[in-house]
Structure 1
Amino acid sequence: MNTSKNRWIKKVAVLGSGIMGSRIALHLANAGIPSLLLDIVPKELTPDEEKKGLTLQSKEVRNRIVNQSLTNAIKSNPSPVYSQKFVSRIETGNFEDDMHKIKDCDWIVEAVVERIDIKKTIFDQVEKHRKPGSIISSNTSGIPIHLMAEGRSEDFRRHFLGTHFFNPPRYLPLLEIIPTPHTDPEIVDFFMHWGDRYLGKTTVLCKDTPAFIANRVGVFGIMAIFHAVRDMGLTVEEIDKLTGPVLGRPKSATFRTADVVGLDTLIHVANGLYQALPHDEQRELFRLPDFIQKMQQNNWLGDKTGQGFYKKIKNPDGSSTILSLDLNTLEYKEQKKAKFPTLEQTKNIDQLSDRYRVLIEGQDKAGEFYRRSFAALFSYVAHRIPEISDEIYRIDAAMRAGFGWEHGPFEIWDALGISKGIELTRSQGYTLPEWVTQLPAKGIEKFYQTTSGTQQYIDINTHQYTNRPDLKGIIILDHRRSTSTLWSNSECAVIDLGDGILNIEFRSKMNTLGSGVLAGINKGIELAEKSFRGVVISNQGTNFSVGANLMMVYMMAVEQEYDELNFAIKYFQDTVMRLRYSHIPVVVAPHGMTLGGGCELVLHADAVQAAAETYMGLVEFGVGVIPGGGGTKELTRRSALRYIKDDIELNVLRENFYKIATAKVATSATEAFEFGYLIEGRDRISLNKNRLISDAKNLAISLADAGYTMPTRDKFKVLGRTALGMFAVGIHQMVEGGYATEYEAHMANKLAYVMAGGDLSEPTLVSEQYLLDLEREAFLHLCTQRKTLERIHHMLNTGKPLRN
């Protein structure tokens, strides 16, 4: 964790344990960094404390606020911590008794309430106790950073800056870095690097302007929609349909996001921006519409108050209905399905960048909305250069990392072309600064271009393309595809990453694993064995892979094409075995959902470089089959490799059996190690998903440099009837206890037969192929069963598992 001057962050003090402070401490724990979490001392006892005979001097009382905040954070869903065992990396205390402990900390981050007087009081204490040279920062989102540094010592001011995390810190990668005029540039450079490498963040350098970058642009976009919705006669659910995944944005879109974040938070930021921006050309959009003011008066603030733009009600039959708010009457009503002809036209356009032009040309309300929204956005971000950033890429990076946009504003504009964006913006009555309008006359039609696999941005001062410094050392497949693709089909591509390493990239829908992907994996390994040093299997889709092509399996099973289905399963099995037994190292780099067949690829890698946010598991039971692509075989084999003595054997095997039978999914890469899907000492984690492929490439190179040799095909022990007896008892108990249906018991017995190695009279050494044949036979049998077909059909239609 060092820079050229060997700066290290070994321990952090987090001052303030509210929603942000506690979650910052937990994310530091995720990164392996111990922290001291402090908060205020309570001023009075609770009734429970009085009953216990405690006093205001009792340690339990004095640390009640900080401990309760941390407990609440740990219990929140989704979990802010990769593994519960990491919580022990946090020490709690209070400002009065424990502030002196910050002398042992290398970084002190303040995350108390958004009042400058309170923050200054905290910093008075920090000045007394910090060691010289320690970094101090504020996590404020609304108070100018330079104001908090006023009156401080020179050493304090040189080491002070803003470090603005986005909530929740585990899941939103943005970390805005805001120096003051007094901040030592070396500290800024250190934090830009350290936040990226050691906290897994997209670090974005910001100017000390109101709301910095992401909230300035993001809240503007939301407020612009709040003002447009009634002008255009659109409903809450229609806006959420128009501003969600079709635009490459989260499913929660606009109004659902406001409910989750809390309308009070949004109001606070909007009011602050209205006050702080007297010269902003679109300042009036930050003024609250009347319906927002009424919602605030009614305390309809979203999820935290039980209702906001949406409200969930219970029906007499026990089911729930979600109502939406009519913004004209402020009454809740049943939602109406939002449909627009323009959106129908985009259904078959998979490439997001190709979708924008269709959206703005729509002749319905959707088209009108997109023209108005894009024009307002383009005008706004163009005018923010150089106010909030000198470089366009910082705005795009902030919106992607902080608000979950797939494309930032200038990237959206690029998809239309600069001239088209200028024309659109002016047609809607918005102005643009001269630096943009000059570009087409100079023959510049794109804000970005890619040269030799490197993305460049247009410098607004020189009008020259310049390499993006934030992408140094990061591999982006989109930037390499046109020049470095060695082989491809419609579902897969083999791309040269340089230095003798190939990347096999999935391109199928949801990255499902069909014959095209399997052909690509085999081709990539073949090419690497001839002329390269190693292979990485990874992609930059939303998820690594959701598993095998379920529709293909369903159609073959329904048509009773069992020979073809048998061939398809064997092709998958042969492919994962080719992956394991090749002459070059194969590194699999999963991220996001890595389910079923995706998990089976991971299980057969020479090494794994996993993104921290990897959700991995063998989930085939949910669709009525067992893992048929080597997953059942591999967990059985791994059980055998873990055997130490006879009394351990059955326990280890039972543990892996239940992982499959309950479709257990690890909710982080850390948990995947705990589940045994990843292997300690061999596999690695990348906290920064942007660096995943670069890290995987380096891992493949290190394996090659170490003199990689193909593994030998050793036999391993299966337990036969001993294991079958244990499984039979467990399955019976699951059914009797109401935890499994009769059909699930049938499936479990098929799984048990494979993991026992069949009806063998005694423990026996077997080959991997022996178990693969048993696995395939069980998979095929289950595909002949009506209840399995019902499960597959239900999953294809609803996306949810059926228990029958």
Structure 2
Amino acid sequence: MCVIGAGTMGSGIAAHLANIGFNVTLLEQTREHAEKAFARAKDVRPPHFYVKSTADKIRLGGVDQDLDWIREADWVCEAIIEKLDAKKALFEKIEHLLKEEAFISTNTSGLQIGLLSEGRSESFRRRFLGTHFFNPPRYLKLLELIPTEETDPTVVQQMTEFLEKDVARRVVLAKDTPGFIANRYGMWSMIYTVHVAEKLGLSVEQVDAITGPFLGRPKSASFRLNDIVGLDIMVDIAQNLIERCPHDPQTPHLATPNSIASLIEKGWIGSKAGQGYYKKEGNQFVSYDMVTGAYRERLEPSLPSLDSLARKPLGERLREGLQLRDEVGEFLRAYLIPTLQYAVALKEEISHNVRDFDRVMQWGFGWEAGPFEMIDAIGAEHLGIEAKPFYSDGQIQDFDGNYYAPAPEPLFAKITDFPVLEEGTGWKTRDLGDGVTAFTLCNKMGVVDPGVVEGLQSVLDSGKVERLLITSEAKVYSAGFDLKFFVNAIENQDFDAVDKAIAAFHRLNDSIGKIPSVAAVWGFCLGGGFEIASGCTSIVAAAESMIGLPESRVGLLPGGLGTLVMHENSGGDVKRGINALKSMATGAMSMNADHAYELGYLTDDDVICYHPDQLITFAKQHLLSLEAKPKPEWKPFTGPFGGMVDQMQDALKASGELTDYDELISDKAKRIFTKANSREEAMELERTLFVELCHEGRSLARMKHMLETGKPLRN
């Protein structure tokens, strides 16, 4: 893969491709320019790379002396400055170097794709299209794919399949119109929000309270999102749309709002400048007052109607919100109705169907529902829109008013698409076909409790399961075992209940791997949830998974064979064994799945799925290739290992990473690593030491503090 242009987007695209395993070349004007630009990219926040070492795998070069490297590329993606002449000159320079069947694309977000290939050969033009990545590519899965009238339809199909299967994108086919779908509509929506806020005299806090989760949008809402995107970038995109869309009656709303103009004039262009609509002073954020033009203390908005409606479904709360006679209702009537009406007016010009339009706003902007789903949910009649439902009985309304069934997308199957076989408290089983049964965690945050343990054990004991896929129907895979169970048992002095729960958990996790099994994990994969996953033949982890054993933070050892798992993951290697104990002592959680390998939570038996929407399909395919395998032979660490662990703990205490009580807990884990002479002894010792810690007042204090505050107690 070759990316040309090492700016924000080019570096981000190159990093994403390297993250998922491609050999990547990144070219700038000169090698010096490439190295300088990429040095900045390596330190960007949020980070481009899963682990820093991946950056070293990208080959940096200069167009002036390394252009021949393009001959090796199967895909060349141009991401240089947004100037038509510069891009056309580059394509003229590289055309003769391209492989005969190499894909060629531009990442432009504002130029007409068809103009960029003018003057090129027929071979070039048939392989050329727009690939509009969203920034940052690592975190945003949407890619707008824009063919020209001369792009070969076969190339479009091949590129779509390649991007979705191998590049971890969700592709929406967009028309070669100004701004495509995302910028034409999404940027209009962002800027129109500011105009409405200024007109109504609402504060940035009030608008962000309304336009965040209440409106089915991310917590970044409106003004925080503006800062993230960059106010200068917003104005540049808007100006391009103004110039290219004189026919659009809504174009005047893209004029720069007064507050944005004032902020740009002062250089306060958003997060990259350290301040925009929000500014961090110490540990606190201050807000920009659009009336006074100065920063002031951030004020918590008083909008009681938001709280009263918050728990209702999106369509219902917005329908009721539109009727309110307060700031919320006033804003929704002034902003939401025109915004949804604009989507209806634009749909045929910029999209191939309403689902594509909706998906751009969901996948690119994080909306819970796209504009047409939202219209259906609220009711078109409440919005001054004359339209039949855009979605009906699984079908989609086409622009001619007829309904059609969309093509199935098996690659992106959700776990809830499959039929339920059995259901218990906190769990379900589902039939995935091909002899695969899924066991899904259904408690909030995928929490494991004795009922879930009993349910999974009964499924295994039934003898009906040939191959098992363990996953979750919660917002994350699993936040761990239910701390409330242990707190209640300890406060009731029922340590026998603790002992029995751990024994049952041990039996379960020791028996999962007796049949071919896979855990498909994403989001949090912590504590007891990780221990269940580790009992499987293999873990399939979504790339952004946060994996770990944070039990020390609540005063405990891992209680579901987690200590044994970390010992076995070490493979008898002293350095890895010490690293495993360090991870447990500090309660380290990985920042992503690649990082989990470094911390000792994942091994070569486990795999990463870089496309979160393909997790279930990928995990099932992986499971079908596996056979159950025996547990590794247990061998205690001996010799100088214990002293080396003591040195590690002393260093962590000296740096303030461990307290005396953390060290006490870590010593118990070290004891399992060094004193148990068999797997059975290790299991017994883990259970005994876990119960011992439950007798400790400091452990109970840590558990209660975590439940009450969500933060660890450093006692």
1:377 corresponds, among 339, 358, 370, to: 339
Note closer, same or farther for the CA distance 1:409–1:629 as it changes in structure 2 (3 Å cut).
farther
1:370-449 counterparts in 2 under 5 A?
Answer: 370-416=332-378, 420=379, 422-426=380-384, 432=385, 437-439=386-388, 445=389, 447-449=391-393
Does residue 782 (structure 1) correspond to residue 713 (structure 2)? The answer is no
Match of 2:434 among 484, 489, 499: 499
Is the contact made by 2:480 and 2:526 (CA closer than 8 Å) also made in structure 1?
A: yes
Shift of 1:410: 2.4
Partner of 2:266: 298
TM-score, normalized by length of structure 2?
A: 0.93
- Structure 2: how far apart are the matches of 1:772 and 1:367? 60
The 8 Å contact of residues 342 and 358 in structure 1, kept in 2 or not, is answered as: no
| 1:264 to partner: Cα distance | 0.9
C-alpha separation in 1, matches of 2:403 and 2:346: 20
Cross-structure match for 2:414: 476
Partner of 2:649: 731
Of stretches 368-377 and 12-21 in structure 1, the one that deviates more from structure 2 is 368-377
Task: Tell whether the 8 Å contact from 2:470 to 2:533 is kept in structure 1 after alignment.
Answer: no
Tell me the residue number matched to 2:623.
Answer: 700
Q: Specify the code of the residue in structure 1 equivalent to 2:369.
A: H
The whole-number CA distance in structure 2 between the counterparts of 1:368 and 1:499 is 54
Corresponding residue pairs, total: 715
Match of 2:452 in 1: 517
Task: Decide whether the 8 Å contact of 1:524 with 1:535 is kept in 2.
Answer: no
Correspondence list, 1:90-129, <5 A: 90-129=58-97
Show CA shifts across 1:231-251 (max 9, x none): 334321222222223444322
CA contact (8 A) 1:494 1:520 kept: no
Instruction: Spell out the pairing of 1:362-761 with structure 2 (5 A cutoff).
Output: 364-416=326-378, 420=379, 422-426=380-384, 432=385, 437-439=386-388, 445=389, 447-450=391-394, 456-461=395-400, 463-468=402-407, 471-480=409-418, 484-489=419-424, 491-526=426-461, 529-530=463-464, 532-539=465-472, 541-581=474-514, 584-639=515-570, 642-643=571-572, 648=573, 650-680=574-604, 682-703=605-626, 708-709=627-628, 711-712=629-630, 716-719=634-637, 723-736=641-654, 738-757=656-675
Q: Deviation per CA, 1:256-290, whole angstroms, max 9, x where unpaired?
A: 12112211111211222222222324323212221
Identify the residue that residue 8 of structure 1 maps to in structure 2. Answer: none
- Structure 1 gap ranges (5+): 1-11, 42-62, 315-319, 427-431, 440-444, 451-455, 759-763
Correspondence 1:234 to 2:202? yes
Check conservation: 1:173, 1:200, Cα contact below 8 A.
Answer: yes
Aligned-residue offset at 1:591: 1.3
* Aligned twin of 1:78: 46
After superposition, the C-alpha distances for 1:422-453 in whole angstroms (9 at most, x for unaligned) are 12211xxxxx4xxxx352xxxxx461534xxx
Tell me the SS of whatever aligns to 2:143: strand
Q: Which aligned pairs between 1:138-149 and structure 2 lie closer than 5 A?
A: 138-149=106-117
Tell me the equivalent position of 2:20.
31
SS in 1 for 2:114: helix
Q: Is the 8 A contact 1:342 1:363 kept in 2?
A: no
Q: In structure 2, the residue corresponding to 1:616 is in which secondary structure?
A: strand
- Matched position secondary structure for 2:61: strand
Query: Partner of 1:767 in structure 2?
Result: 679
Q: Distance in 2 between matches of 1:535 and 1:555?
A: 32
Q: Which residue of 2 aligns with 1:18?
A: 7
Aligned mates of 2:493, 2:326 — CA distance in 1: 46
The amino acid across from 2:658 in the alignment is A
CA contact (8 A) 1:714 1:767 kept: no
1:210–1:489 Cα change, 3 Å = farther
Separation in 2, partners of 1:254, 1:557: 46
SS of the residue corresponding to residue 45 of structure 2 reads coil
- The residue number in structure 1 matching 2:213 is 245
Question: Which residue of structure 2 aligns with residue 799 of structure 1?
Answer: 710
For residues 31 and 113 of structure 1, the distance between their equivalents in structure 2, rounded to whole angstroms, comes to 26
* Structure 2 residue identity aligned to 1:751: A
Uncovered stretches (5+) of structure 2, i.e. residues with no partner = none
1:213 shift after superposition: 1.4
C-alpha distance in structure 1 between counterparts of 2:450 and 2:393, whole Å: 34
Shift of residue 167 of structure 1?
A: 0.9
CA distance in 2, matches of 1:610, 1:82: 13
Mapped partners of 1:229, 1:215: distance in 2? 20
Change in CA separation of 1:374 and 1:502 when aligned onto 2, cut-off 3 Å: farther
Question: What is the deviation of 1:99?
Answer: 1.6
Identity of paired residues, percent? 35
Distance across 2 between alignment mates of 1:300 and 1:729: 48
Q: Structure 1, residues 620-641: CA drift from partner, whole Å, max 9, x if none?
A: 22222221121112112333xx
Distance of 1:359 and 1:784 partners within structure 2: 52
Change beyond 3 A, Cα 1:526–1:225: farther
1:172 Cα deviation from its structure 2 partner: 0.7
Q: Give the SS at the match of 1:387.
A: helix
* Matches of 1:673 and 1:313, distance apart in 2: 36
Matched-pair contact (CA < 8 Å) for 1:17–1:37: yes
Tell me which residue corresponds to 1:169.
Answer: 137
Instruction: Report deviation, 1:522.
Output: 3.3
Deviation at 1:785, TM superposition (A): 3.0
| Contact 2:217–2:368 (CA under 8 A) maintained in structure 1 | yes
Q: Residue 113 and residue 798 in structure 1: after superposition, are their counterparts in 2 closer, same or farther (change >3 A)?
A: farther
**What is the identity, as a one-letter code, of the residue corresponding to 1:474?**
F
User: Could you state the TM-score of these two structures normalised by the residue count of structure 1?
Assistant: 0.84
Residues 371, 424 of structure 1: 8 Å contact kept: no
Deviation at 1:490, TM superposition (A): 5.2
Closer, same or farther: CA 78–290 of 1 in aligned 2, 3 Å: closer
Equivalences for 1:339-358 in 2 at 5 Å? 339-346=302-309, 348=311, 356-357=318-319
Aligned-partner Cα distance in 2 for 1:218–1:446: 20
What amino acid maps onto 1:767 in structure 2?
R
CA offset digits 1:157-195 (Å, max 9, x no partner): 111110111111111111111001011111111111000
Aligned match of 1:442: none
RMSD: 2.6
Q: 1:78 to 1:293 in 2, by over 3 A?
A: closer
**CA shift at 1:380, angstroms?**
2.0
Assess, with a 3 A threshold, how the Cα gap between structure 1 residues 32 and 651 changes in structure 2: closer, same or farther.
Answer: closer
Counterpart secondary structure, 1:666? coil
Deviation of residue 228 (structure 1)?
1.9
